[in-house]
Structure 1
Amino acid sequence: MNIPYAHGNPYHRLLYGPAGPYAPLPGAKDLGQLAQYAAGQVSPVVHLHWDDRMFGRDDDPDANRINAQTLVDRLQAFKNAGGKILWTIHNKRAHFERDAESFAWGRGQLCALADLVHVHAPHAARHMIEDWGVAPEKIRLIPHPSYLDAYEPAAVTLGRPLPSSPNRRFLFFGTMRGNKGVALLPDTIARLARHRTNFDLLIAGKTMPRAMRRMQPVLDLPQVSVRDGFIPDADVPDIFGTAQVFLAPFGDFFTSGSVMLAQTFGLPVIGPDRAEMRAITPPENHDLLYEGHRPKPLVQMMKRLIDMPDEELQQRRLLCLDFAQSTRSELIAASLTTAIRSLGPVTA
């Protein structure tokens, strides 16, 4: 049994694959039916995602504490009825931190309750073991799946050539939260435009008013365009398929679906040289990662990509496509199914 909290993102479908003993329960955020579900199954497993959408979501700490205790009690009742818990760690801390104390308490409870803790990369495993005290034998390291076959047939994606353009085409994609490195962009793009004019930057995704106010000085540049709002699935191949390089100047992050999505479409990634980014990019492209979280090294790397011959960029592109194939859904789903079955026989 899977309890997803994301809608419109194919992550779950890619993680589980086309077949498997899973009964999705979209929107089951209160976990109220868990014990009843467990009682009717041979060996039920609940798969939890995004604990920041379970704990510390309200501005009222008292309400958060009551809600957190209720959720934990229901999970404990599920276990008492014979259920097992698989928990996937997606972030180091809450995306929108309202009540850090309640969130930390809830996460601590899940560390004890979970039978298996799924992480996407070694740094996440270390964090859960060293900072949260999770027993190493509970950890299962299974990479984030690529998005091959999610938005178009894989053969189309893998066969698409490097887009031809007189300018180097950069893409910044996703919800413009602070951890995305949005604050670096205004100064970075302004500096870059003083040295190079042969580039285009598309900012696509849901923007935030505060972030856009900071961006205003560079939005008038002819090289910069914005596509604000939710991006329909049908438009994803065109947005990524016409770009050449992906900007990921992230601050605090654990893993990144948008980086995996970019590389699925063959876009080399410019981002900070950190363990988190190295874990989700091909080793041969790690020289495109820069030191420091400030505009200067990001500008220098963007200049390098602008000046890079298309022949070299094509080789970088092929490395990304190979990486996407090595993390394709059927491989990741098989590993996850093995992990779930290790908890005992599972019925839908």
Structure 2
Amino acid sequence: MMDGAGITTAEDVAVPWTGPGARPPGAIRPLLLGTDLEDYTIAFANGLARHVPVILCVPRRQFEGLADWFGEGVDLRLLDWPRHRSAANLRFLMALRRLIRAERPTVIHLLSNNTLWLNLLAPVLRGTPIVTTVHDVTVHPGDVETARLPDWSTRLMARQACDLVVHGAALRHHAAARFGKREGRVHVLPHPALPRYAELARRAGLRRRPAGFTVLFFGRIYAYKGLDLLMRAEALARGVPDLRVVIAGRGDDPWQFRDLMGDPGRYDIRRRYIPDAEVARLFLDADVVALPYAEASQSGVLHVAATFGIPVIATDVGELGQTVRAAGLGSVVAPGDAPAFARAIARFASDPDLRRVCGGRALAWAEGETEPARVGAEALELYRSIAARAGGGIPPVRHYAAGGTEHGGGIGRCVGYVTAAAAEAGVRHLVTDTRGPRWSPLASPPRLGLAMAAMARDRILAPRRIHHLHLAGRGSTRRKLMLASLARALGVRHIVHLHDYDYAADFAARSPRDQARVRAMFGGADAVIVLGEGDRRLAVTTLGVAPGRVAVLPNAVPDPVPDPVPDPRPDSVPDPGRMEDVPDRRPRLLFLGRLGERKGVPELLEALAGPDMAGLDWTAVLAGDGPVEDYRRRARALGLGERVRMPGWLDADDTAALCRTSDILVLPSHAEGLSMALVEGLAHGLAVVATRVGAHGEVIEDGVTGRVVPVGDAPALGAALADLVRDGAARRALGRNARALFLARFEMTRYMSRLAGIHAAASQPAPRPGTPE
């Protein structure tokens, strides 16, 4: 940690990076600048420091008392940072510039664009990429603290940054439009969980002290925070026994809404600064956290509540609604809808099991997807891609996939989406077919030979190119073994990308000699990409890949209808363009994939012909290749000929058109990696019915983001489908949650940002043993 009056730096000259902390070639050294948002800054810096040493420069007056909360990997610089209106900022900026030049970071990341004077620093740091996080694209009504800064200063800081970070897909569209950025320069990172108060409660040995049913509103009290809605809801929740409403934070006086209160005696109002220990106590004792905002981009309070395992009731504004829906963190109501908010309070008050389930999901979310170290890993991938672009361009890439993009099934479709997205960003990705449309003993070996020749040619003509090997089991592994062996012999940078539905079984069935070759293929790759946590464990424990070289990167698809500006109306998750349920319209069920037993098509037909579906009005489309005519005959024999259509294999455009006119996606597979059909169903907001196979169990939560049925259980499948055919409201709710999940985790822009980081890391020389990063 740096201490002392002002900024202490080395001489204002470029110095070589030497000594025991030397930076190996290609290593990333981020420098973070934080001016506010203390808990966010702590969580983000600590999460990033789990992967790479971090320099963090922050104001002493705000962070000195929090220094003990930073981990060992954070080089904390406490600076005497002047306030906005002080002329001392000019001298401070000169010293800060000397510090930055002495440290020679590869990336500078401003953790907020709420800054005035740093606008003067940006032009003199043009040699170093600057990234800025935008938390709120526009100032919210009544936010007097942010409004103290002139609006042009926050806009200018965002415009001067080479790249922006936002914490939601809708915010990405909005930020790109407001700040004049290409969407490829606006990146989505998850907002990290904020665990400091939960950790404080643990360290202090605090225990919950229940006192009736407690609804907590915490944070700055401004007009847009919707206190009037909370009070109108409390007045309507007369039947909730022992209801207690705690309002804690600085800002406007909540008593101005006294006339809206049902019973002022229910309220515990603490309009003041809340010390840390008291914050921990408030969350520990709360039963549910209220986020009744009239307008918002996101909420740090949500990420505090999750670390305590507390459910929330949130309005559907900004990113809040889709975040709560996607992770199943609680209830979502329309902004201003006091009866709905009151019903949500009453439901949580009367159902402790619901509180427990939603609270468990919240804790799993805080310890999983939004855990600071996981967010830090994504941030590091982003820094690598930005640094590579600044240092001469992201490396060119050649993909190797059987059947190419046209005849490669789900893998080919995935590669097609990647190459199209890369082309939009001005980066050329080549695709080399290693097999041909189908395996042929005459045509396929020459195809593989041409692929190997392309790799050898690239070694001479394009030595920086990354060779991306897309791999499944069986024959795909045999082909990629040959390509990987050649890559190691030529010394080219290469990545192994595992897509298989059950690679553990495929590996176990191989001879010891083949297993050794497979381990050498995975172990010799510069990076390994897998689709889920199960395959990550397989890569590390069975295939011997170092944990730091395995990246979990679920499949993604482009947003079917990207919305350039978030819709401020209730239910503001962008409509993917499909038909809404209307009276008398028959729900359409959709299956996408190769028709066969592995995909569960026999039991799907049995379920559709079963008693649960017999008396209902519906149609179904089963789209895919395979023995289509055989299954058409089977459908006719089961009496389904009039209601089930099988058009064969469809291209991406026809598939998207079919999704837009469907309501339910059904995928009863016996084995999968992460089906592209599943992700496409989420993207189009379809209610998903699937089996818990491969990474699907990491994606679909039964009753929240879809329905899960046992493998091979036709009666259970029929019952689940019948429930959704009968219940349009449940079908639409699952569809909204599916769409929210897609935007949070599977949208193509975030995928490409992460993939570019993986490619950039693979293009760098490997660190010597014992050197950092």
Alignment TM-score, normalising by the size of structure 2:
0.38
1:6 corresponds to: 36
Q: Which of the numbers 353, 362, 366 marks the counterpart of 1:320?
A: 362
**How does 1:114-125 map onto structure 2 within 5 Å?**
114-125=161-172
Higher relative contact order (CA 8 A, sep 6+): 1
Q: Which of the numbers 55, 71, 84 marks the counterpart of 1:22?
A: 55
Amino acid at match of 1:304: R
User: What stretches of structure 1 move > 6 A for 4+ residues in a row?
Assistant: none
Q: How far does the alpha carbon of each residue in 1:160-204 deviate from its partner, in whole angstroms, 9 at most, with x for none?
A: 99x6857322111111111211232333322323x4343111112
The Cα of 1:316 is off from its aligned counterpart by 1.3
1:202 corresponds to: 246
Note if 1:213 corresponds to 2:256: yes
2:104 corresponds to: 42
1:92 corresponds to: 137
Question: Is the CA contact (8 Å cut-off) linking 1:281 and 1:323 kept in structure 2?
Answer: no
CA distance in 1, matches of 2:337, 2:268: 22
Higher mean C-alpha deviation, range 195-204 or range 247-256? 195-204
CA distance in 1, matches of 2:333, 2:218: 19
CA distance in 1, matches of 2:380, 2:262: 46
Q: How far does the alpha carbon of each residue in 1:236-288 deviate from its partner, in whole angstroms, 9 at most, with x for none?
A: 22211111101000122111101111121111110113451134325363771
The structure-2 alpha-carbon separation of the partners of 1:32 and 1:146, relative to structure 1 and needing over 3 Å to count, comes to: same
Note if 1:239 corresponds to 2:285: no
Note if 1:130 corresponds to 2:177: yes
5+ long unaligned stretches in structure 1: 55-69
Q: How many equivalent residue pairs?
A: 321
> What SS does the corresponding residue of 1:281 show, helix, strand or coil?
helix
Question: Is the CA contact (8 Å cut-off) linking 2:235 and 2:262 kept in structure 1?
Answer: no
> What SS does the corresponding residue of 2:123 show, helix, strand or coil?
helix
Q: How far does the alpha carbon of each residue in 1:195-230 deviate from its partner, in whole angstroms, 9 at most, with x for none?
A: 434311111222423x43224764963321122322
> What SS does the corresponding residue of 1:238 show, helix, strand or coil?
helix
CA distance in 1, matches of 2:360, 2:366: 10
1:248 corresponds to: 291
1:64 corresponds to: none
Q: Which of the numbers 288, 294, 297 marks the counterpart of 2:340?
A: 297
The Cα of 1:23 is off from its aligned counterpart by 3.1
Larger radius of gyration: 2
The Cα of 1:39 is off from its aligned counterpart by 3.4
CA distance in 2, matches of 1:153, 1:187: 34
Amino acid at match of 2:58: L
The Cα of 1:36 is off from its aligned counterpart by 3.1
CA distance in 1, matches of 2:32, 2:367: 25
> What SS does the corresponding residue of 1:24 show, helix, strand or coil?
strand
2:266 corresponds to: 223
Q: How far does the alpha carbon of each residue in 1:101-146 deviate from its partner, in whole angstroms, 9 at most, with x for none?
A: x41x334433432122111111111111234331122122111111
CA distance in 2, matches of 1:234, 1:98: 29
2:511 corresponds to: none
Question: Is the CA contact (8 Å cut-off) linking 1:260 and 1:280 kept in structure 2?
Answer: no
Q: Which of the numbers 175, 184, 197 marks the counterpart of 1:151?
A: 197
2:349 corresponds to: 306
Amino acid at match of 2:185: K
1:51 corresponds to: 113
Question: Is the CA contact (8 Å cut-off) linking 2:131 and 2:162 kept in structure 1?
Answer: yes
> What SS does the corresponding residue of 1:51 show, helix, strand or coil?
coil
CA distance in 2, matches of 1:147, 1:203: 20
Question: Is the CA contact (8 Å cut-off) linking 2:225 and 2:292 kept in structure 1?
Answer: yes
Q: Which of the numbers 377, 381, 393 marks the counterpart of 1:334?
A: 377
2:222 corresponds to: 177
Alignment TM-score, normalising by the size of structure 1:
0.80
Question: Is the CA contact (8 Å cut-off) linking 2:221 and 2:250 kept in structure 1?
Answer: yes
Question: Is the CA contact (8 Å cut-off) linking 1:15 and 1:336 kept in structure 2?
Answer: no
Question: Is the CA contact (8 Å cut-off) linking 1:171 and 1:201 kept in structure 2?
Answer: yes
Note if 1:186 corresponds to 2:231: yes
> What SS does the corresponding residue of 2:179 show, helix, strand or coil?
coil
CA distance in 1, matches of 2:315, 2:363: 21
Question: Is the CA contact (8 Å cut-off) linking 2:296 and 2:318 kept in structure 1?
Answer: no
Note if 1:264 corresponds to 2:307: yes
The structure-2 alpha-carbon separation of the partners of 1:293 and 1:73, relative to structure 1 and needing over 3 Å to count, comes to: same
> What SS does the corresponding residue of 2:57 show, helix, strand or coil?
coil
